[in-house]
Chain A
Amino acid sequence: MATAAVSPAYAHAPEASKSGIWSWLTTVDHKRIGALYMYTALAWFGIGGLEAEIMRWQLKGPNGHVVSAETFNQLFTMHGTTMIFLVVMPLSAAFFNFLIPLQIGARDVAFPRLNAFSYWVYLFGALFMNASWLVGMAPNGGWFGYTPLTTMAYSPNLNIDFWMLGLQILGVSSLAAAFNFITTIINMRAPGMNLMRMPMFTWMAFVVQFLLVLAFPVITIALVFLQFDRFFGTNFYTMTAGADPLLWQHLFWIFGHPEVYILVLPAFGLVSEILPTFSRKPIFGYPVMVYSGILIAFLGFGVWAHHMFAVGMGPVADSVFAVTTMLIAIPTGVKIFNWIFTMWGGNLRFTVAMKYAISLVGLFVIGGISGVMHASPPADLQQTDTYFIVAHFHYVLVAGSMMGLSGGIYYYFPKITGRMMSEKIGNWQFWLTFIGVNLTFMPMHWSGLYGMPRRVYTYDAGQGWEIYNQMATVGALIQAVAALIGLYNIWVSRKRGEIAGNDPWGGGTLEWSIPSPPPEYNFATIPTVTSRYPMWDTKSPGLTADVPHSRHGDERSDVQVGGKRVGEFHDHMAAGTPEGGVNPHARQSSTKVSLKTAEELGIPIPYPTIKPLFVALFMTLMFACLLFIHEDKLQLGIAGIITCGATMTAFLYAWLTSPLEPQHH
């Protein structure tokens, strides 16, 4: 069998020493770290969702008083911060971790221990920020933390300190991961995997890493200024000393707008994997999909001030940022059309993953179009700070990012765990999510246009907002039910799902060539790649016959996409592949064959180590000690910082001076 070259028939060895809590604390395996990211992000998704539900319960009718105004401020601040930094980014990171090495044909990421460090920093940073609930001082300045509201003069308590220190800690995690993935993608591609043969998800992940690397330093500095203002009495945001009231907003949104693409491009990447598989067609216009992703990221750095039209920057600045913002609709529209053309004439299979992917394509357009609406400053002045904006960004982030990531979970769960998720339960989850999302966020367009302001904790009757708020609250409850069904599906399928086999969906990329779950070394032999869909080359050659860089090497002469030829391929594919969601051939060649361990194959596997966890822990504690400075316990704070810093450095040296893996000579 031709696939034998890329996937010899062996499964992973029984690994008694590879289970138990200690193995998870010390793991440096990108697949296990990916799983940790995924389960942790889902846990925070529950908490962030709960915060949203309480807010919706408060707003279900006029003059609601379930929670106080102060608590409401904390809820919307932490809901936004949690969903962005503790849910969508880490869930994307879960896929980066799990998929990038598998898709490029590598055995791990470039720096396995740094990867573990990134995860632990994320976990501890998230715990630190949420520890604020325990002292009743959760952040309350909005996820954007505008100054001067967040300066000491107007926010004298610890709330903002938890927020800004937490974001600094999480920034370290994102940056460390980004350096790691950039190096991995540039340097660890299998032979023949040139950049224009990389799977679309890896491409979008690659773009996102550059956004992270270039955007996070800016918010780091903005937060450092805030930190210095609050702790040491500097004047960066002190208006009475002549400070510019817009400095924070500029710095924050120079980070904040690229952040929007950090949140959505991974979902775009997942959709670009799911649609070709379930359409049995290569992605339409692969190079244009790549270039439009890069262009979105590039333009994303030049549009930040569209968040600030209402502050009065003047007609020239407003016009420039309006035009650059509208320009982004072009590469985004290109992506939408290419997804539609990918499905056009394909042999569509409506699995749950496919339904999520299609609903992203459809619903993201709604968020995209309302985005173009407030790209126009005159329209924005009417819409800014109303629920119209809330509707817009929830269509982009929930109907966009979360739909794509949910589809990604259904698509890749079999690869991660070796078992299928239940399609039946999944269908319930999908349709309830679909109804819930639209019922929650669609009415907000109307309440926003009728003038309901954002961030109000309650509102008076008789303004025409009641019905929309009731609909939104019902929708939010439906979403909660859907989320619980989804978590239940993960829980039962993890142990009792159908055995998946190597390639349950008939995917085209390298991750489907190896057992599910993959052995710790991923690939016994590093594959040689000759096309964009190497699995289809061997299983159904007709699928990729018209893809450049395909079996014909780099010849591009016979490229024909669209029109009648698409139809021909459709027939070709249907003959070559089994019908239905699951490929039975793949299941036959599934797990229980002969067992080979990494040792038998002579593949060096990195040692498990606890050191990254301790470095992350003491780094987090070091940041936490800054809280003492706020409390005017300067000596205690400095003593704590020095102690934690020294301990962190000691663990760091121990980490750097110990070998990564057994040496082979």
Chain B
Amino acid sequence: MSTAVASHAHPPTSTGLDHRKIAIWAFIGSECMLFASLISTYLIYKGRSIVGPFPHEACNPPICATPLKPILNIPVTSVSTFVLLMSSLAMVLALAAVENKGKPGYEGILGSSKFWLLATAILGTTFLGFQAYEFTSFVHEGLTIRTNLFGSSFFTLTGFHGAHVTAGVLWLLTLLAIDIKRGLEPKDALLVDISALYWHFVDVVWIAIFTLVYLIK
């Protein structure tokens, strides 16, 4: 009789994938257009600011009242980019730890999903700390969201990315709370899997932003 009941419960999905996995891919597709719009606007407005500070060029009188250095700090941002990339590695290890819980090779702290989830969240928060530092120092150097086209498009673009990282950190901390409360089992791997897809997407977007905004002059 158990099979009869099973036949009335949910039939298998057409693709064999969980609904949430398809939905997160559709969501990521949508997010691509969101960041594409932000990045294109940044690129369209590149070099069109009337007053400084500028990203890669110095601003000297008479355009600026006082001489201003190029504002982007590429070495510092390279470090924060590295931190964010490492968070993706930690995310991969967190997913592996959940999928393989209890299997040989996944004992101890380095096989613990709690450790890797926490590590991912901490690395993400570190990236956000770098961004907070960057934003404050820009404001001190005279660049706010109202200063010029560069300021408006830069802060909006990187701010949107930062908001996505923040949402990701909250997601990871929620998973960590579940893991601490009842322990994530291999059957819960999908929960971690979809958050990992989101996290990696946010990382990939940062690679695009870092290249297009910081590296290309």
Query: Which residues of chain A are near B23, meaning CB under 8 Å?
Result: 110-111, 179-180, 182-183
A222 on interface, CB distance cutoff 8 Å = yes
User: Contact size class for B?
Assistant: 35 or more
Query: Which residues of chain A are near B11, meaning CB under 8 Å?
Result: 190-191, 526
Interface segment, B76-84, B119-127, B144-152?
B144-152
Whether A247 lies near B29 (C-beta < 8 A) is no
Whether A183 lies near B146 (C-beta < 8 A) is no
Whether A242 lies near B22 (C-beta < 8 A) is no
Whether B50 lies near A601 (C-beta < 8 A) is no
Query: Which residues of chain A are near B37, meaning CB under 8 Å?
Result: 217-218, 220-222, 251
Shortest CB distance A569–B (Å):
31
Query: Which residues of chain A are near B38, meaning CB under 8 Å?
Result: 221
Whether B152 lies near A217 (C-beta < 8 A) is no
Whether A213 lies near B29 (C-beta < 8 A) is yes
Interface segment, A227-235, A341-349, A375-383?
A227-235
Whether B156 lies near A225 (C-beta < 8 A) is yes
Mask, B7-23, CB within 8 Å of A = 1, is 11111011101010011
A187 on interface, CB distance cutoff 8 Å = yes
Whether A187 lies near B22 (C-beta < 8 A) is yes
Query: Which residues of chain B are near A604, meaning CB under 8 Å?
Result: 9-10
Within the complex, which residue of B7, B8, B145 is in contact with A234, where a contact is CB–CB below 8 Å?
B145
Mask, A598-642, CB within 8 Å of B = 1, is 000111100000000000000000000000000000000000000
Closest residue of chain B to A244 (Cβ to Cβ) is B44
Q: Knowing A178-B26, A213-B29, A224-B156 touch, does A111 contact B148 (C-beta < 8 A)?
A: no
Whether B48 lies near A242 (C-beta < 8 A) is yes
A203 on interface, CB distance cutoff 8 Å = no
Q: Knowing A228-B156, A241-B148, A244-B44 touch, does A187 contact B26 (C-beta < 8 A)?
A: no
Within the complex, which residue of A179, A218, A221 is in contact with B26, where a contact is CB–CB below 8 Å?
A179
Query: Which residues of chain B are near A218, meaning CB under 8 Å?
Result: 33-34, 37
Shortest CB distance A209–B (Å):
8
Whether B17 lies near A182 (C-beta < 8 A) is no
Query: Which residues of chain A are near B151, meaning CB under 8 Å?
Result: 234-235
Within the complex, which residue of B9, B29, B48 is in contact with A664, where a contact is CB–CB below 8 Å?
B9
A72 on interface, CB distance cutoff 8 Å = no
Closest residue of chain A to B178 (Cβ to Cβ) is A657
CA distance A348 to B5 in the complex (A): 45
Whether B22 lies near A186 (C-beta < 8 A) is yes
Q: Knowing A243-B149, A664-B5 touch, does A217 contact B33 (C-beta < 8 A)?
A: yes
CA distance A243 to B152 in the complex (A): 11
Whether B50 lies near A242 (C-beta < 8 A) is yes
CA distance A236 to B8 in the complex (A): 55
A646 on interface, CB distance cutoff 8 Å = no
Whether A232 lies near B146 (C-beta < 8 A) is yes
Query: Which residues of chain A are near B7, meaning CB under 8 Å?
Result: 525
Q: Knowing A183-B23, A242-B49 touch, does A225 contact B41 (C-beta < 8 A)?
A: yes
B45 on interface, CB distance cutoff 8 Å = yes
Q: Which of A110, A183, A214, A603 has the largest count of B CB atoms less than 10 A from its CB?
A: A183
B30 on interface, CB distance cutoff 8 Å = yes
B87 on interface, CB distance cutoff 8 Å = no
Whether B148 lies near A235 (C-beta < 8 A) is yes
Shortest CB distance A237–B (Å):
10
Whether B146 lies near A188 (C-beta < 8 A) is no
Enumerate A234-270 residues with CB–CB distance to B below 8 Å. 234-236, 241-244, 247, 251
Q: Knowing A241-B50, A242-B49, A242-B50 touch, does A233 contact B44 (C-beta < 8 A)?
A: no
Closest residue of chain B to A110 (Cβ to Cβ) is B19
Whether B9 lies near A234 (C-beta < 8 A) is no
Shortest CB distance B162–A (Å):
14
Q: Knowing A182-B22, A235-B152, A602-B8 touch, does A228 contact B30 (C-beta < 8 A)?
A: no
Q: What residues of chain A have their CB less than 8 Å away from a CB belonging to chain B?
A: 107, 110-111, 175, 178-180, 182-183, 186-191, 193, 213-218, 220-222, 224-225, 228, 232-236, 241-244, 247, 251, 525-526, 601-604, 664
A-B contacts, 18 listed (Cβ < 8 Å): A175-B30, A186-B22, A187-B13, A189-B14, A190-B11, A214-B30, A217-B34, A222-B37, A234-B145, A234-B152, A235-B149, A241-B148, A241-B149, A242-B148, A243-B48, A244-B45, A526-B11, A604-B9
Q: Which 8 A-B pairs have the closest CB atoms?
A: A217-B34, A221-B37, A234-B152, A217-B33, A110-B19, A602-B8, A187-B13, A233-B146
